[in-house]
């Protein structure tokens, strides 16, 4: 069913040369490759055109066999953001597209409604970038693989479109807790690595060198903050985690097959 959101271009960057899980996009989750799982969920969001930006024919052929669109970009591109920008330059050289969602290719459990909510927020926000955050679980606080976001909100905690002030692998802000059972307000947020970009901001971003905070935290979005870009945030119920290892792959396969 068509969502009540404006048309939004979604680009899924994917490459075969992942160091910790080689060939990751084509690894099977159930009966389907991971990249197909992600593409299908993006299509289910029903918010507009979905394109896979890949580094070769291996991925492109799989997506095209499913009836999808794929664009081959330079395998040497350093990040997903660079791959999304390169794909945009190929498919829309006249820059008629003003907004795009960068959906990571290793999120096979992406919820279509999260993408629809992001598209809705992009339609009303003037921030250069907008991204989802979810309440942080207490057991995630000390995990450096879980990225935390410091967000201020216009109303009650997690209501409306917020503003992201910083991202870190450390537990921030100091003293923040998230205890849904007790009903206390969530002041710590788990960042979900999906981005809605204004086209001009993305084009500017990929021309910038990695920034000091980005290199310290190993978080690309800090380059945007250091460049003075505003990152907006929307609250979602649950975080979606990426697939980086064999253990992640096995766990995701079990969850998706249930």
Would the pLDDT of 230 be above 90?
A: yes
174 vs 53, residue with greater confidence: 53
pLDDT at 184: 54
**148-183: per-residue pLDDT in tens?**
999 999 987 677 899 999 999 999 987 766 455 554
pLDDT band for 31, please (50, 70, 90 cuts): confident
* pLDDT bracket for residue 77 (50, 70, 90): very high
Q: Report how far residue 192's alpha carbon sits from residue 197's, in angstroms, rounded to the nearest whole number.
A: 15
**Cα torsion for 146, 9, 154, 212, to the nearest 10°?**
50
Which domains, from first to last, does the chain contain?
Answer: 1-110 (3.90.550.10), 125-239 (3.90.550.10)
pTM over 0.75: yes
Give the whole-angstrom CA distance, residue 16 versus residue 39. 16
CA 21 to chain centre: 19
Considering only residues 138 and 82, tell me which one the structure prediction assigns the higher pLDDT.
Answer: 82
Average pLDDT over residues 3-18: 83
Q: Is the pLDDT of residue 258 over 80?
A: no
Percent of the chain with pLDDT over 70: 92
Convert the pLDDT of each residue in 109-154 to its tens digit: 999 999 999 999 999 999 999 999 999 998 999 999 899 999 999 9
Residue pair 10/49 in contact by the 8 Å Cβ criterion: yes
Q: Report the relative pairing of strands 69-72 and 148-152 from DSSP bridges.
A: unpaired
């Amino acid at each position: 069913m068509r969502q009540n959101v404006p048309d939004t271009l979604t680009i899924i960057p994917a490459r075969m040369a992942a160091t910790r899980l080689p060939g990751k996009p084509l690894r099977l989750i159930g009966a389907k490759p991971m990249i197909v799982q992600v593409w299908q969920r993006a299509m289910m969001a029903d918010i507009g055109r979905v394109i896979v930006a890949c580094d070769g024919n291996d991925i492109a052929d799989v997506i095209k066999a499913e009836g999808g669109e794929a664009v081959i970009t330079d395998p040497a591109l350093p990040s997903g953001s660079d791959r999304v920008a390169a794909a945009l330059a190929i498919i829309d050289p006249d820059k008629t597209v003003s907004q795009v969602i960068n959906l990571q290719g290793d999120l096979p459990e992406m919820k279509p409604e999260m993408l629809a909510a992001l598209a809705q927020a992009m339609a009303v926000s003037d921030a250069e970038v907008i991204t989802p955050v979810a309440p942080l679980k207490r057991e995630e606080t000390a995990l450096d693989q879980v990225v935390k976001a410091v967000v201020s909100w216009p109303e009650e905690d997690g209501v409306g479109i917020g503003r992201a002030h910083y991202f870190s692998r450390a537990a921030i802000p100091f003293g923040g807790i998230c205890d849904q059972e007790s009903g206390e307000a969530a002041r710590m947020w788990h960042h979900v690595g999906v981005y809605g970009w204004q086209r001009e901001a993305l084009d500017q971003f990929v021309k910038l060198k990695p920034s000091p905070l980005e290199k310290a935290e190993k978080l690309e979005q800090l380059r945007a903050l250091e460049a003075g870009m505003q990152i907006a945030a929307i609250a979602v119920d649950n975080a979606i985690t990426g697939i980086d290892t064999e253990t992640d792959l096995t766990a995701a396969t079990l969850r998706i097959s249930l």
